[in-house]
Amino acid sequence: MTSAFKPTSDAIAAPAWYALDLLWQGGETTVQRGLPHEQLSPAWQILLLGDGSPTRHLQLLTRDRTEVDVIDMSLVGNDLDGAPAPIQMVPGPRLRRQVWLRTASGQRLAYATSWWEASHVDEYLQNRSLPIWANLARLRTELYRDIQGIHYGHCPPLEAAFGQAGPLWGRYYLFWHNGKPLTLIYEVFSPYLSKYLGPAQAPAL
């Protein structure tokens, strides 16, 4: 399938995406084992390390519709784009999509960047104003969310956008479909969610 998407910029001029300046990180072993509760609370671990839909989780937490603000869709070609290592499993040339996940009333809850095989992005994101989960659910697409790593650190632009001081928690994972990697997703969650989940972790890591 040939993508009808018109990129906002070419691969060289593509705007940056927001990665955390890391204070700590954990890989697949940490994800499988989980973290000590004094480092990350059980409620936050369910959100960050569970394989359910974050969009659905956010709706259940806030009792408000989760909406998407798309802030960037750029062709990045075969460049690794500073993304986590599993990007190499997503065939190129690639398209990068950046969004805010927010409540219908406007409260930003999370930031997400995803990388897709450019030639197939229109097949899976038929309605770009909807979260990825909602698009794939409409298609009845069977997926496996393979969480690869968890991050903790600062990102001043994200902290300003959330209106919340860091550090922030994030994660990255692959979506698998029909035995093949469909997309790589990097998510960072707002500390605002402590309103529903309680404090994320003890002060000392």
pLDDT in tens, 118-144: 777 655 554 555 555 454 555 455 566
CATH of the domain at 67: 3.40.1410.10
Q: Mean per-residue pLDDT for 189-195?
A: 96
The pair of structure tokens assigned to 204 is 């000392």
Domain count, the chain: 1
- Please tell me the predicted confidence (pLDDT) of residue 129: 54
- Please tell me the predicted confidence (pLDDT) of residue 8: 38
- Please tell me the predicted confidence (pLDDT) of residue 7: 37
- Please tell me the predicted confidence (pLDDT) of residue 92: 84
The pair of structure tokens assigned to 137 is 């659910």
Q: What is the pTM of this model?
A: 0.82
By residue count, the chain amounts to 205
**Res. 10: pLDDT tops 50:** no
7: burial class by Cβ within 10 Å (0-12, 13-18, 19+)? middle
Residue with tokens 């219908």: 104
> Are 73 and 97 a contacting pair, CB within 8 Å?
yes
Phi and psi of 143, rounded to 5°?
-135, 155
44 found inside a domain: yes
125 found inside a domain: yes
The parent domain of residue 140 ranges over 22-196
Residue 51: pLDDT band by 50, 70, 90 thresholds?
Answer: confident
**Res. 177: pLDDT tops 90:** no
The DSSP bridge partners found for residue 113 are 98, 186
